[in-house]
Structure 1
Amino acid sequence: MKKLFFILTILIPSQYLFSQSEGIPKKITQKGFAKIDFLSIDMPLNPLGIDDPNMGFTGIHYNLSFKDWYTGIGIYGAITGNKGGFFTLGVNAGYKKLITNKLYLDTGFHFGGGGGAGAPDGGGAFILPHFNLGYHFKNFSINSGWSYVNFFDGGAIKGHQINFGIEIPLNFEYAENKFGEKQYNLSDFKNSTWNNNPQRNSLMVHFNNLKIKGNTQGINNGKTIKLAGFELTSYLNKNWFTFLKVDGAYDGIRAGYMDVFLGGGYHYTLNNNKTNILAKFGVGAGGGGGIDSNGGFLLYPDISIEQQIFKDMYLSVNKGYLLSPNKVFYTSTLGLGIKYYLEKNGIKTFNKTFNEGKFKGLDIIIKQDWYFNAKRMENPTEDMHQISLQINLDLNRNLYVAGQTSFANFGNAGAYAEGLVGFGIKSNLFFNNSTKFFTQIIGGAAGGGNISTGQGLIIKPSLGFDYQLSNTLNLRASGGYVKAKGGDLSSTFINFGIKYNISLLKLK
């Protein structure tokens, strides 16, 4: 329980209470920024007594800003060295102080979990404090300085290094979550702050097949990796977009393969907006599960064709390639997905099919899982802990879809990770409008860290409750059961965490 108390004190961010508005829900602007950073970590001697090359560690973060303070989440992956497939997930907290109009100091702290690629990561828990000097340009800022990494739960990775980062302001707008599922005519918004151009986003759940090739893949050469994952897209204008794509293996090879990509593309529409062709290119990190991806840096060119099946829902088929720059690892890709488009937070649209706006609830949850007696392939069975990020989107007042990714941080399983999707049902409010109960079932890819998940497919039902602390913040707790198909993992679990909940205006 000391570990849970330590983690919860780190996860709880500063929050503000917002007053209730009458009539049309008030639009609230949350300041924030996205960050990409890089550090080169000195690795310890490997078991053969040979000095491993430095691991190039790059992170993608999003932080909420509260005056001089900030807090958020970040995911890191190896892109250089020989630890391809090394990934972590964690939470950020920090403080910025202007020295001049442009120059600033930034001191912060990252706590997370993860590992992989045969690295001495122990249980996976690590800390990464930093002290940086930064400079603001017109549309972005850069910073650099000292940082220190320590995989302190039995790991051997630790040391000081210089870090480099680039930040882009990225605010978002929302209404309080209590307005979720409330619906209005577009004319009701004419004299409100919602009377602006909508922002287009999409969310896709997909399955991908990778045909493995390359000179160093050994017994994996020629095999097909079956992946499950999701893709988030944000449109810059009518045609150009950016995307974040995350996948994990559930069949075809030993469990543990994962990849993460950030990129952009071009969207071309035909057939009266019923058919889309998308060309994409991404860069990112991948590896694990016995796949040799060298340092982990991968390229991802792809083309997709989408066909409308409902008003906002499309069936997507994609074909492309995934490869390391030197082609030591390269695959052809073929995938199938379901994509949901969302025109949000504005009503000025030339699309005459939209005549109403509905507020849809969105939950962002950071929690700590505790698996009891998590079965191992070789080592003695023991409990395992992991840090987890879950995102829920309401389909209606009581039904939601969920996506979750998790990384081990205590319990001698640092390379273990999960990528899951599913559905949940939640109750109305009880106990003086303070508490909601929920049940959910999620499943997908999991593996690594010597945990016995077979080829990687798990299912994870649970029951729990949320207790409201403020208009945007809830305490969350649940318990359930996790079972691996084809592996020995069969454990009860509990988790505790924090839920940040808002609602977005969706055109319909």
Structure 2
Amino acid sequence: MNPPLSPSVCFRTLAMLSVCAGGLGWPLAGLAKDQDDSLFGLRPTTTTWRVTSETWKLPNNEKMGMVGGNLLFDVADNVKLGLASYGAVRGERGGFITLGMTGEVQQRLSPSLLGHVGLFVGAGSGRSSLALAGGGLMVRSDVGLIYEAGRYGKLGFGVSHVRFPSGSISTTQPYLLYEYSFNSLLGNGWDRGASGGSASAAPFGMASNAQEFSLVARSYRIPSSVVQDGGQPQHHSMQLLGVEWLSYLDDRWFLKLEAEGAVGGKSNGYMQILAGGGYRLPLTSSTAIKLHAAAGPAGGGNVDTGGGLLLDAGISLQQKLTQRTALELSVGELRAPSKSFKAQSVALKLNYQFGLPAATSATVPWSALDGFDSVPLRLRTVTQNYLKNSPNWRSSNVDQSVGNLGMQVDYFVSPNWFLTGQALAAYSGKAGGYMTGLVGAGGQLPVSDRWFVEGEALLGAAGGGGLAMGGGLVGQANASLGYRLSKSLSVMATAGHMSALRGDFKAKVVGVSLAYQFTGLAEK
């Protein structure tokens, strides 16, 4: 790691928000079991990345290959909770993507074999799937076996049942999985250094793992040979906004996860979630070249990705601006191997480089955390309803409201101000396939010991489900009333307004959320 330097408040905030805004991220560890808040130290929480593969059977003998990404946290003995996303990569419905909450109960059957039963509840869909997915609500249950293969991770198989209650999808199938577990350090509530600062003044320290977060503005140049999924010519360009997270395995090799949505180019509703890896080659002390390759589900917005699998490869030039920040110019090419979509990509990325504690399973003494700052975070499980506020706000069912389900993460830069990011998908209102990802800022004002009010403004990408989002760029403003149930839990009621900046969509917003406060740690 580079010598420690106190990061800017803004960049640290965005780094903590990023993965949740794309659907997955370590901040969910705040739902983990209560940490050991004794004088002796902080107890790590076992954290698991999981990838699954299965094939759904749809009506009329249609099949759709799905890949799932899960981030799970041990919240009690044999109980895990987390986030999950499922996306199409085979078949004819590229862009069919869902996200939501997942949980499971495990039971050890032998020294190396585990049994588990799981449940996922989420929302989404896509690619002309209204009759299949209805409003978008998805329920997936499963039962399976997991074999522990030591340091190489875990392998497993099982049987899952997937149902969209308001649609026609109801399918049972086998699945395969791979998972890898590590440890996260998160504190319960904001009692320790909630405004930032040292976790301890003792002279001992622990190692950190290098991370890199980027805000991404991307443009696709699309050849004239590419057509939409209905056969019409594809618009010659597309603009996207998103985030990227890199986790370094050593000084040069890294793993990456990115999520981006269309905000221009007549393809609102297009979304891609790509995972992969790469290599960083330093040229000088401040300049480097990065090579990467990634793959994942993508589609929507009439973009013809076929079954949904998208392949991406490219090269970047990275120039440091400060000890922790850098500017990166990336060029590459991507294509959907099963259909006509392909493009040349140019992206500008603003990087922030930092470190997370390299925790083991042992309790970490407070003295070992002197090199890390406390990061006060809040995770909200959110439901929002859109109510008609414009005659042409959607292409059909114009008098029906749209229900959305998702997550929101906040970082409090001070006791009264926070930055925020959210990811939502439709679950009701015959708008299956609608998704949105927004970032913004807000303020909180206490009214009493338990009551508080908040206001926030957000901007980002949205599309799908027949909502008239224009190019996909949207803005939202909310006001909320909250009540603290405990030092960690709050409930909030929200009212607001959302509109497309270049479309006819305008809606009143009403919602409720359950909020959990917790503390993360980032290298100074």
Normalised by the length of structure 2, the TM-score is: 0.84
Taking the aligned partners of 1:243 and 1:398, their CA distance within structure 2 comes to 33
Change (3 A) 1:373 1:115: same
Taking the aligned partners of 1:496 and 1:112, their CA distance within structure 2 comes to 16
State the match for 2:334 in structure 1: 322
Q: Secondary structure at the match of 1:156?
A: coil
Shift of 1:83: 0.3
| Structure 1: gaps spanning 5 or more residues | 1-10, 46-50, 348-354
The answer to whether 1:450 aligns with 2:474 is no
State the match for 1:7 in structure 2: none
Change (3 A) 1:356 1:135: closer
Taking the aligned partners of 1:215 and 1:226, their CA distance within structure 2 comes to 16
The answer to whether 1:378 aligns with 2:396 is yes
Taking the aligned partners of 1:137 and 1:183, their CA distance within structure 2 comes to 40
State the match for 2:206 in structure 1: 196
Residue identity in the other structure for 1:378: S
Question: Which residue among 105, 109, 112 is the counterpart of 2:115?
Answer: 105
Question: Which residue among 169, 180, 197 is the counterpart of 2:181?
Answer: 169
Change (3 A) 1:396 1:281: farther
The answer to whether 1:361 aligns with 2:376 is yes
The answer to whether 1:180 aligns with 2:194 is yes
State the match for 2:438 in structure 1: 420
Question: Which residue among 97, 100, 125 is the counterpart of 1:90?
Answer: 100
Shift of 1:387: 1.1
Q: Does the CA-based 8 Å contact 1:31-1:172 persist in structure 2?
A: yes
Shift of 1:208: 0.7
Residue deviations 1:95-134, cap 9 Å, x none? 0001111122111111111010012211000111011122
RMSD (Å), alpha carbons:
2.6
Question: Which residue among 289, 306, 311 is the counterpart of 1:294?
Answer: 306
Q: Does the CA-based 8 Å contact 1:245-1:261 persist in structure 2?
A: yes
Question: Which residue among 35, 40, 46 is the counterpart of 2:55?
Answer: 40
Taking the aligned partners of 2:422 and 2:282, their CA distance within structure 1 comes to 31
Change (3 A) 1:356 1:248: same
Shift of 1:454: 1.5
Residue deviations 1:145-168, cap 9 Å, x none? 221111112x11112111211111
Q: Does the CA-based 8 Å contact 2:306-2:338 persist in structure 1?
A: no
Taking the aligned partners of 1:203 and 1:488, their CA distance within structure 2 comes to 34
State the match for 1:350 in structure 2: none
Q: Does the CA-based 8 Å contact 2:305-2:338 persist in structure 1?
A: no
Shift of 1:488: 2.2
Change (3 A) 1:44 1:492: same
The answer to whether 1:254 aligns with 2:270 is no
Taking the aligned partners of 2:323 and 2:247, their CA distance within structure 1 comes to 19
| Total equivalences in the alignment | 475
1:235-254 matches, cutoff 5 A: 235-254=248-267
Q: Does the CA-based 8 Å contact 1:239-1:266 persist in structure 2?
A: yes
Taking the aligned partners of 2:372 and 2:147, their CA distance within structure 1 comes to 40
1:268-417 matches, cutoff 5 A: 268-272=281-285, 274-326=286-338, 328-345=340-357, 357-373=372-388, 375-417=393-435
Shift of 1:481: 0.8
Taking the aligned partners of 2:327 and 2:481, their CA distance within structure 1 comes to 34
Residue deviations 1:339-373, cap 9 Å, x none? 222223379xxxxxxx9642122333321111112
Shift of 1:465: 4.6
State the match for 2:73 in structure 1: 64
| Structure 2: gaps spanning 5 or more residues | 1-27, 360-369
Shift of 1:395: 3.9
Q: Secondary structure at the match of 1:184?
A: coil
Q: Does the CA-based 8 Å contact 2:134-2:164 persist in structure 1?
A: yes
Taking the aligned partners of 1:83 and 1:419, their CA distance within structure 2 comes to 21
Q: Does the CA-based 8 Å contact 1:220-1:253 persist in structure 2?
A: no
Change (3 A) 1:338 1:468: farther
Q: Does the CA-based 8 Å contact 1:379-1:450 persist in structure 2?
A: no
State the match for 1:147 in structure 2: 160
Shift of 1:329: 1.5
Taking the aligned partners of 1:305 and 1:392, their CA distance within structure 2 comes to 31
State the match for 2:479 in structure 1: 463
Give the fraction of aligned pairs with identical amino acids, expressed as a percent. 25
State the match for 1:5 in structure 2: none
Change (3 A) 1:63 1:430: farther
Shift of 1:327: 6.2
Question: Which residue among 130, 137, 142 is the counterpart of 1:125?
Answer: 137
Taking the aligned partners of 1:72 and 1:203, their CA distance within structure 2 comes to 21
Q: Secondary structure at the match of 2:268?
A: coil
Q: Secondary structure at the match of 1:28?
A: coil
Normalised by the length of structure 1, the TM-score is: 0.87
